[in-house]
Amino acid sequence: MGIRYNIWLDSTAQRRYVMDGITEMVCFLRKNRDLSIENGLRLIDCTLAFLGPVIIWPEKEFKKLTAIFVRCSKEAWQMSPNTSTALFTFPKDLGGLQIKMSRAIICSATWGHLTRCYQFDDGTQQLAEITYKDAQEQHGYLDMEDLQFEAEFLTWDQASQNSFTFACHLTITIGIRVSWDPFNPDCSISSEF
């Protein structure tokens, strides 16, 4: 279901492109200190959401992406590179910044991608339905709730073999649940999750 692959379904070059783009953003944010913190964070969020979700990220590569993302966030906040990363994930009421980390951005963008594939009858809907049914057969589940439960026990690399399974795995890792029943004949085609 990804669209940023070469004809051999290899996304190595595309992952490198994303990593280079995020690295360039670190440099851009470092040079442009007059950019507000809010605009810097919005720029990071939009760039990662646009570039990252529709290619497969092996866990090792995603850890590198997260490290660069954290570095980029430190530059947006105009902090020293030596600032503790935990500051970003702590809740605001405990003195943290509680920013949306790369996993949450990828999760949101992945669900958005699946929703768009489901909504438009341009060939992507049929491909999404095949992918959804593959996940059903592979993991033996009845609905999205069951798949989210199953995805909790999968490794990153196992989950990333199917777009729906991967989206469910991401929701579990960030601590949320999604209630959505795509391809249910009783549902309207334009329904949202």
Report how far apart the first and last C-alpha atoms of the chain are (Å, whole number). 19
The predicted structure's pLDDT at residue 193 = 45
Chain segment 13-45, per-residue pLDDT in tens: 788 888 888 888 899 999 988 889 888 888 887
CB-side exposure of 120: number of CA atoms within 13 Å?
Answer: 9
Name the pLDDT band for 154 (thresholds 50, 70, 90): very high
Count, in order, helices (H) and strands (E) of the chain. Answer: 9, 0
Chain segment 49-108, per-residue pLDDT in tens: 665 556 778 889 888 888 888 888 889 888 888 888 877 777 777 777 777 777 887 888
Quick one: what percent of the chain has pLDDT higher than 90?
A: 10
pTM for the full model?
A: 0.77
Report which of residues 186 and 162 the model is more confident about. 162
Which residues have C-beta within 8 Å of that of residue 40, sequence separation ≥ 6? 29, 75, 76, 77
CA dist list (Å): 124 to 4, 36, 116, 193:
14, 38, 8, 18
Residue 3 token pair? 């669209």
Quick one: what percent of the chain has pLDDT higher than 70?
A: 88
Q: Quick one: DSSP state of residue 1? A: -
Is residue 169's pLDDT more than 90? yes
